[in-house]
């Protein structure tokens, strides 16, 4: 496996594969080779049976991997290609459920949508995994509450989907045996951010942060954009086609497991974690 972008999620995927006996090479600070070391990357591509990209599009548009190595990737011998995309491609649905048949490109992430479609265009080897907010060790509501960075926002009916990083790894690995296509990997219970923060505070034995308006919270532009969208992500296709079942079907199981096995680590993350290199 060659992984473009050894970020938070792809390192978990790599660890699982290595434990199962795979040879994994990755690019980036946490990887084995530098992204722009063309000779090393082309050699890795030539020897890889599987390729996965977790590299986000550039802010001004364009996918770095496809721009630098698109031709080589199209000609590579790999029989399987995966891309970690975002459920942000669906835009705002007013809280309605959305599955893989829904229109994309209506939201704030036009660059992500373009990249998502470019990877699909590589053909029948490709699996695209659309991910909502990612959480896991060192990157969860437990850490934000512990750090005093958690906020509860008074927005009636606002819900988000999320997924534990270990469930992403399981979904991607299941997708290595399943048919090509697009798969949503999210948990079973889209919930308000407030509910997640309140559960984290309960587990830590502290009072939840006060309820605030958006204006009082003084959120960053990135966080404000996050709260401008409201949707529920359906995961039925991944369950039905790949046989995937999230180990942490709701935030409650996920937070309990994190609280039982790790100490909260101070982390500065946005309310919707993992959108760029963080994947």
Block mean pLDDT (10 aa), the chain, length 279 = 98 98 96 96 98 93 95 97 96 96 84 95 97 97 96 93 98 97 98 97 97 89 86 98 98 97 44 40
Q: Indicate the helix (H) or strand (E) that contains 152.
A: strand 152-153
Measured CA angle at 224 (ends 220, 230), to 5 deg:
150
Residue 267 in any domain: the answer is no
pLDDT in tens, 69-85: 999 999 999 999 999 99
Closest Cα to residue 81, out of 55, 52, 56? Answer: 52
Q: Domains in the chain: how many in total?
A: 1
Residue 34 in any domain: the answer is yes
pLDDT at site 206 = 97
Residue 269 in any domain: the answer is no
Residue 18 in any domain: the answer is yes
| Other beta carbons within 10 Å of 218 | 10
Measured CA angle at 258 (ends 252, 260), to 5 deg:
100
pLDDT in tens, 154-193: 998 999 999 999 999 999 999 999 999 999 999 999 999 9
| Residues near 97 by beta carbon (within 8 Å), at least 6 away in sequence | 231, 232, 233, 234
Burial class (CB in 10 A: 0-12, 13-18, 19+), 252: middle
Q: Quote the domain boundaries for residue 178.
A: 2-261
Tell me how far apart the alpha carbons of residues 44 and 72 are, in angstroms, rounded to a whole number. 11
Report the CATH number at residue 256: 3.40.50.720
Between strands 2-4 and 126-131, the pairing is: unpaired
Q: Is 183 helix (H, G, I), strand (E, B) or coil?
A: strand
Q: Is 208 helix (H, G, I), strand (E, B) or coil?
A: coil
Residue 22 in any domain: the answer is yes
Residue 51 in any domain: the answer is yes
pLDDT at site 187 = 98
pLDDT at site 60 = 81
CA 199 to chain centre: 22
73 and 65 Cβ atoms separated by less than 8 Å:
yes
Residue 50 in any domain: the answer is yes
Residues in the chain: 279
Tell me how far apart the alpha carbons of residues 6 and 10 are, in angstroms, rounded to a whole number. 5
| Other beta carbons within 10 Å of 222 | 11
pLDDT at site 59 = 83
Token match 């998502």: residue? 116
| Residues near 66 by beta carbon (within 8 Å), at least 6 away in sequence | 73, 115, 118, 119
């Amino acid at each position: 496996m060659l992984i473009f972008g050894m970020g938070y999620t792809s390192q978990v995927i790599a660890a699982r594969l290595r434990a199962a006996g795979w040879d994994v090479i990755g690019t980036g600070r946490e990887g084995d080779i530098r992204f722009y070391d063309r000779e090393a990357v082309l050699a890795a591509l030539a020897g890889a049976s599987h390729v996965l990209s977790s590299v986000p599009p550039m802010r001004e548009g364009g996918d770095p991997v496809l721009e630098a190595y698109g031709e080589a990737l199209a000609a590579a011998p790999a029989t399987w290609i995966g891309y970690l995309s975002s459920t942000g491609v669906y835009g705002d649905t007013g809280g309605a459920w959305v599955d893989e048949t829904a229109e994309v490109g209506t939201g704030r992430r036009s660059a992500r949508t373009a990249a998502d479609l470019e990877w699909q265009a590589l053909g029948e080897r490709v699996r695209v995994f659309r991910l909502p907010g990612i959480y896991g060790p060192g990157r969860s509501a437990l850490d934000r509450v512990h750090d005093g960075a958690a906020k509860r926002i008074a927005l009636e009916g606002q819900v988000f989907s999320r997924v534990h990083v270990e469930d992403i790894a399981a979904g991607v690995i299941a997708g290595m045996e399943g048919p090509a296509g697009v798969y949503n990997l999210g948990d079973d219970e889209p919930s308000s951010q407030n509910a997640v923060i309140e559960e984290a505070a309960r587990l830590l034995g502290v009072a939840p942060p006060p309820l605030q308006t958006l204006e009082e919270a003084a959120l960053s532009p990135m966080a404000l954009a996050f709260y401008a969208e409201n949707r529920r992500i359906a995961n039925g296709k991944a369950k039905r086609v790949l046989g995937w079942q999230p180990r942490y079907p709701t935030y409650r199981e996920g937070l309990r497991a994190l609280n039982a096995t790790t100490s909260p680590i101070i982390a500065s993350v946005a309310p919707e974690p993992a959108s760029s290199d963080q994947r």
